[in-house]
Structure 1
Amino acid sequence: MFDHLLVLDIAGGAIRRVDLDGTVTTVVAETGSAPDGIAHDPAGDRIWWTLMGRPRRGDDGADFTDRNGSLRSARTDGSDVTTVLPDGAITTGKQLDLADGHLYWSDREGGRVTRSTVDGHDVTDLVTRPRDPETGLVDIGDQCVGVAVDVAARHLYWTQKGPAKGDAGRIFRAGLDIPAGETAENRSDIETVWSDLPEPIDLWLDAASSTLYWTDRGAAPYGNTLNSAPVPAVGEHGVEPTILAKDFAEAIGLAVDAEAGVAYVTALDGTVRAVPTRAGAPGERVLATIPGSAFTGIVGIPARTEQS
């Protein structure tokens, strides 16, 4: 079970510790520009986080097409901050997952899903979406955001949220290994497992129950929600998801404590909400709110880490 949570504050460029009683403290005061995805290794007592990088300001708001994202790491208490991948190694680092000794992340404007070792070696694109031959940009419908790994089944899941409030979001699945003779650009094993979603963002896979959870920041009534659905068999499309909670103010990050039966969801209004995922779990509540903050990625830190 989780002892506490670590939450990325994109507005403050910081990592906040949120205790389960709602107490909030700062663990890392300077993460770098626009932190988004965070992962934790209980055995090594370390965290990693992606950075979206420095945006340009345009008529439509922040433009993250410049390739200046990166990947950093620290101990769970915020000490020993190190650069794993330097600025420019990623275009726009989004959700991050740690599985089987590797880091997996989505690169939104880069239109790709990538893997590396935890120390930043063997960087390998697993999925690469097409670019416009004239602009060199990835279409907004092909931008990758969320990511989750099923080590046992050797499957990779990711979201492509589509246009804002566009009801064109999708969740995809492919193998963890590119089929022989194929590439990240042309691999034949990619499946669309959910389509026509409002705007899916971050994923969480509970392999024990074969359940996929995701946040969605699209328009109501189906957007700005926390969703769950059973993982479909290979070759099958997912069933209509169950909405576990709604009315978030731009839902982003997601961490599920399967043992406790609670999901923790962050939103861009600086809130962390606890949502029951099964009968008998504690009721839904706002765990913490920090005015002026904007929360993105979140990860749960189990109690045993504190004792190691």
Structure 2
Amino acid sequence: MTVSWQAPADYANRPVAVLGAGVLGRRIACVWASAGYDVLVRDPSPQQRIDCVAYVEENVASYAEKTGKVPGKAAAYEDMKTVVENAWLVIEAVPEKIQLKIDTFAELDALTPADCILASNSSSYKASEMLEKVSEARKSQILNMHYYMPPICMLVELMTDGFTSEEIFPFMVERCKESATLPYVARKESTGFIFNRLWAAVKRECLTILSEGVSVPEEIDAMWDIMFVQGGTRPCKMMDSVGLDTVAFIEGHYIHERGLPSEHTVDFLKKNYLDEGKLGNKCSKGGLYPPADTTAKPGPRIVVLDIGLASAKATAPNPGEILEVTLDGKLKQTLATDQAYPDGIDVDYESDRMFWTNMGIPGKDDGSVFSAKTDGTDARQIVGGGAVNTPKQLVVVAEHKKIYFCDREGRRVFRCNYDGSSLDLLIDNRDDNPEHSKWCVGITVSPKLGKFFWTQKGVSKGSQGRIFTANIETPAGQSAKTRDDIKCLLSGLPECVDLEVKEDTLQLYWTDRGEIPFGNTLNRVQLTESGLVEEKHEIITKHLHEAIGVKLDAANGHIYLTDLGGSIYQTDLEGKNKKVIYSDENRAFTGIALLR
């Protein structure tokens, strides 16, 4: 029987405590400091304490790039009471010795505030094994909270001790999301949690294959990479695709040959799925997943740019990729590799070609614009050779057979033909003072209004962002530097980035990667018939992680968004019903486009 629990009203102003300043403990401390919390760390070793604080100070800014928060401070002490006496959360990361953990929780029960949540990072022991010396009341505030290895892997698993108050889990899920971790809650106590049990089975079978001489490590890893990394295959979805009756038949053969138990495999499938007629994708009743909605209109294919900064090859000269992702969250294929930090992408459906920008190295005039068929073939550079510096968002205007794009450090806006010819300079902010406020980033075009719109985002998190508009055609006798038709529509924005315009309703949408609560958002404003703004803009979606790309799919009533945190989102046209379509912490997404 769990006890009702209420979150501390002042938790945001109280520290998080971490017990253990080792390799993982200091990374956990950095995670919470990146979310804006002050973190106190306890460790008996003076050197560990020094190294822990140094690690947080050196790395918290990079962690905070995903949280959008002003980082908190970290301090380390030998004395337990100093560290935990005002904490709202204590995370135990002491050595994996059960008696030590039992004694630690007894001490925490005595020293922490009555409303403090106590968590164990243990991967070997369930929290229920640590309750021997704690009070009955405290048992409802104890849980497992297992981290892997931030910032490489930002997964965190939450699990009850058998008594944990149910109200703690949604609260902790939200706090974990604040710190840019990806929380998963185990439905019941389990030795090994969720992923470690899955990994244990994979590991066990790999070793068995090796011991029997069936294959070698290189072949096992290569096949895994093709099937699960490149192919994006997921175990439960794969079983539904194969058919649960087929899965049961194959597993039954293994059971017979190896003398394995059947209770949690074939018997489980038969009782809960096969006997109910739930056979997977081929069945109207579905399988492990609910049946697909066959009445729904097919949605678009998604093509997205991975800038490469979160990947294993982030330090390589050209780490970026162009990917096709399906609406059901599968990485369908890689359309291009070895891209020099790609940022903006759009598609011309008539010619079946996509166009994208590569930023290159900022300040070097080595930016470029490429074109290829939408299957990735026939790739060619159409703008380069020192013509642009750091090209950003790109938009196709099919009725004019033109592409428009911004040049950030170049402080310019360009237009050219599909083959790169007739490269026209539309906006030129260059002068002797290359300030950030003049950097041009996002762009969209409204042929209906005869105008284009662009963002100048200002310094990072500086609330100096502005959105401008000008006529598609430069006034006669004027130049990109002297034209007098430029209007500033909005100013004082946190850090406005990419733009989209919905012409039928004259609504302008944009992403903002600035500080919360106004940044890391999707925004919208109503335009007048003359392309100006009379009303205040509205925030329609929040809680993005370094928001970048935005693409409207008005035909199907959706908006698609990307962020540098590695996620692709879908909302309705009001910015509501947000869901994650695809997420990979080893990706950092920028531009997004839709394929038919």
Cα pair 1:6 1:298 within 8 Å, conserved: yes
Mapping of residues 1-308 of structure 1, within 5 Å: 2-11=299-308, 12-53=319-360, 55=361, 64-99=362-397, 100-132=400-432, 138-234=434-530, 236-278=532-574, 283-302=577-596
User: Secondary structure in 2 aligned to 1:5?
Assistant: strand
1:21-61 CA distance string (max 9 Å, x none): 111133323252000000100111100100101x2xxxxxx
Cα separation, partners in 2 of 1:67 and 1:209, compared to 1, 3 Å: same
Cα pair 2:323 2:333 within 8 Å, conserved: yes
Distance in 2 (alpha carbons) for counterparts of 1:218 and 1:278: 21
Shift in Å, 1:301: 1.3
Cα pair 1:131 1:139 within 8 Å, conserved: no
Partner amino acid, structure 1, of 2:426: L
Distance in 2 (alpha carbons) for counterparts of 1:291 and 1:160: 28
Shift in Å, 1:89: 2.2
Cα separation, partners in 2 of 1:65 and 1:19, compared to 1, 3 Å: same
Distance in 2 (alpha carbons) for counterparts of 1:77 and 1:204: 24
Distance in 1 (alpha carbons) for counterparts of 2:347 and 2:461: 31
Shift in Å, 1:196: 0.8
Partner amino acid, structure 2, of 1:286: V
Greater share of strand residues, 1 or 2?
Answer: 1
Shift in Å, 1:87: 4.3
Cα pair 1:192 1:237 within 8 Å, conserved: no
Distance in 1 (alpha carbons) for counterparts of 2:492 and 2:534: 12
Partner amino acid, structure 2, of 1:224: N
Cα pair 1:193 1:232 within 8 Å, conserved: no
1:119-174 CA distance string (max 9 Å, x none): 00000000100321xxxx63100000000001122101000000111111000000
Shift in Å, 1:293: 0.8
Distance in 1 (alpha carbons) for counterparts of 2:595 and 2:299: 5
1:253-305 CA distance string (max 9 Å, x none): 111101222111100011001111149x8x21000012211000000112xxx
1:54-103 CA distance string (max 9 Å, x none): x2xxxxxxxx1111000111111111111111242210010001112101
Partner amino acid, structure 2, of 1:49: W
What is the aligned length? 287
1:2-31 CA distance string (max 9 Å, x none): 421100000141111111111113332325
Structure 2 residues not aligned, in runs of 5+: 1-297, 309-318
Distance in 2 (alpha carbons) for counterparts of 1:261 and 1:218: 27
Cα pair 2:474 2:483 within 8 Å, conserved: yes
Shift in Å, 1:241: 1.6
Shift in Å, 1:218: 0.4
| Larger gyration radius, structure 1 or structure 2 | 2
Greater share of helix residues, 1 or 2?
Answer: 2
4+ runs of 1 displaced by more than 6 Å? none
User: Secondary structure in 2 aligned to 1:298?
Assistant: strand
Cα pair 2:526 2:533 within 8 Å, conserved: no
User: Secondary structure in 2 aligned to 1:141?
Assistant: helix
User: Secondary structure in 1 aligned to 2:442?
Assistant: strand
Distance in 2 (alpha carbons) for counterparts of 1:45 and 1:27: 17
User: Secondary structure in 2 aligned to 1:122?
Assistant: coil
Higher relative contact order (CA 8 A, sep 6+): 1
Shift in Å, 1:238: 4.4
Distance in 1 (alpha carbons) for counterparts of 2:330 and 2:385: 33
Structure 1 residues not aligned, in runs of 5+: 56-63, 303-308
Shift in Å, 1:236: 4.5
Distance in 2 (alpha carbons) for counterparts of 1:16 and 1:249: 20
Cα pair 1:214 1:226 within 8 Å, conserved: yes
Cα pair 1:261 1:278 within 8 Å, conserved: no
Shift in Å, 1:243: 1.3
User: Secondary structure in 1 aligned to 2:437?
Assistant: helix
Distance in 1 (alpha carbons) for counterparts of 2:406 and 2:582: 27
Distance in 1 (alpha carbons) for counterparts of 2:528 and 2:512: 19
Match of 1:59 in 2: none
